[in-house]
Structure 1
Amino acid sequence: MAMAVEGGGTLSEIHQSAKKLLMKARDGVEKLERLESSTSTGGYDSPELSFAVKKDISQIQSLCVEMDRLWRSISFKSQRDLWRRKVEQIAEEAEQLKESLDKYLLRNQRRMNEARERADLLGRANGESSHVLRIFDEEAQAMQSVRNSSRMIQESFATGTAILAKYAEQRERLKKAQRKALDVLNTVGLSNSVLRLIERRNRVDRWIKYVGMISTVVIIFLFWRWTR
């Protein structure tokens, strides 16, 4: 029995239209899920498709309301029960598609929020990276300054060591010269007073030498403390 529908169409025609929309909406949901699964490998989202699927499901539910009104007006119970089951099946499938679409939209919204959060974190990370790089640059400059100071201290120490070595070499030469002079003086028989005068002069020379060595060490130490 074909029930006429106000505004055109029968219950059978409305049912066929609902089934076509149901198939179209199912294909749309499956395509959205395929796009979602490929997002991690370069896939994309389709807001236009999700809107079209949502519109189709809404239209199916409207047709189910109309069919529910029509099958209730069928006089024969067997036909009425048959159409009730058909309409309920369409309504259940439309509800399942609506739930799938709602879950997809929820997951998509979550992905968009996570993408925004990652973008914000990346922006902050770039700013912090610049700050860290600036700190590393300052540390590198400080380390270079320390290395330069250390090199200057080493050079100064080497210079001081060379000076002390020269003093030691001159000391040995003076000792040899003094011994030769004493031998000569003893040979020619100079008086003891002259010898004491020479020895006193020798002690004064040694003190001068020691003072010079100590002064050099002090100067090197003060220079090292100043460059730290």
Structure 2
Amino acid sequence: MAAAAAAFEVAGGGGTLSDLYQSAKRALLRTRDGMERLERIECSSSSGGGGGGGGGLESQELSSSIKRDIAQIQSLCVEMERLWRSIAAKSQRDLWKRKVEQVAEETESLKESLDKHVLRNQKRMMEAKERAELLGRVNGDSAHVLRIFDEEAQAMQSARNSARMLEESYATGVAILSKYSEQRERLKKAQRKALDVLNTVGLSNTVLKLIEKRHRGDRWIKYGGMILTVVILFAFWRWTR
């Protein structure tokens, strides 16, 4: 208990290890909530067909807030790592090591998610800018631009249909080959059973022949014994007269 208490009371410039950990957990909770809000904004912007306006401004402000929270958590992790290394009891040191590593890993995962969101947002803004510039250059020739877009969309749809047909054909071929493999296995089993039956029949015939030969031998022995007995009795009868 003394070691545990000491571990919780290890202090650095920003407070005890326990205080820093609680601050990091609160910042993590804010960051997770912020990422969820950011994803909802992104989904609503995508479904609405636009990414600008108030939603874009809110997304930028929220991204900046999440970045600050992530930077704060990373700073807390550095301080916590310095503190848990100074804990004397190995069990408490290992416990805090796992806790700090878990916070650091989750923070890194949130940072990667934020970076991906920022890249997607930048790409979306660039595409919107390029579309606006393209539509601005046509100077009324919007029908030609729309026709180009329609042709590209049709080509993409045709490519997707072809890919889907290839996937279906591949799946059908795999299923047919699987059926063939199953039938081959069943034929192999039937062949093995037939061979077993034939071997059994051959063995039975051999045994029957041996039994029949043994019976013939037994009959000859029986008849020979009977004749020998009669001869012995006849000889004994003649000798006693």
Mapped partners of 1:17, 1:70: distance in 2: 15
SS at match of 1:53: helix
Cα pair 2:10 2:87 within 8 Å, conserved: no
Among candidates 18, 27, 30, match of residue 33 of structure 2? 27
Deviation (angstroms), 1:48: 0.6
Cα pair distance change 1:20/1:100, threshold 3 Å: same
Q: Does 1:54 align with 2:67?
A: yes
Residue of structure 1 in register with 2:234 after alignment: none
Deviation (angstroms), 1:129: 5.4
Residue of structure 1 in register with 2:85 after alignment: 72
Mapped partners of 1:129, 1:103: distance in 2: 33
Runs (5+) with no aligned partner, structure 1: 131-228
Q: Does 1:88 align with 2:101?
A: yes
Which consecutive aligned stretches of 4+ in structure 1 deviate over 6 angstroms post-superposition?
none
Cα pair distance change 1:107/1:8, threshold 3 Å: closer
Mapped partners of 2:89, 2:10: distance in 1: 16
Question: Structure 2: which amino acid aligns with 1:94?
Answer: T
Mapped partners of 1:105, 1:92: distance in 2: 20
Q: Does 1:115 align with 2:115?
A: no
Partner deviation per Cα, 1:90-118 (whole Å, 9 max, x = no partner)? 00000000000000000000000000001
Runs (5+) with no aligned partner, structure 2: 1-6, 144-241
Deviation (angstroms), 1:2: 1.9
Most deviating of 3-12 and 80-89:
3-12
Cα pair 2:9 2:18 within 8 Å, conserved: yes
Partner deviation per Cα, 1:11-34 (whole Å, 9 max, x = no partner)? 000000000000100110111011
Most deviating of 103-112 and 6-15:
6-15
Cα pair distance change 1:129/1:24, threshold 3 Å: closer
Cα pair 1:61 1:91 within 8 Å, conserved: yes
Question: Structure 2: which amino acid aligns with 1:105?
Answer: V
Scaled by the length of structure 2, the TM-score of the pair is 0.51
Cα pair distance change 1:78/1:52, threshold 3 Å: same
Question: Structure 1: which amino acid aligns with 2:127?
Answer: E
Residue of structure 2 in register with 1:9 after alignment: 15
Deviation (angstroms), 1:127: 4.7
Cα pair 1:3 1:70 within 8 Å, conserved: no
Whichever of the two has the greater Rg, that structure is: 1
Cα pair 1:71 1:83 within 8 Å, conserved: yes
Instruction: Within 5 Å, give how 1:130-209 maps onto structure 2.
Output: none
SS at match of 2:8: coil
Partner deviation per Cα, 1:34-82 (whole Å, 9 max, x = no partner)? 1101113337231110000011001101100110010000000000000
- Percent identical residues: 66
Scaled by the length of structure 1, the TM-score of the pair is 0.54
Residue of structure 2 in register with 1:105 after alignment: 118
Cα pair 2:135 2:142 within 8 Å, conserved: no
SS at match of 2:12: coil
Mapped partners of 1:57, 1:82: distance in 2: 23
SS at match of 1:2: helix
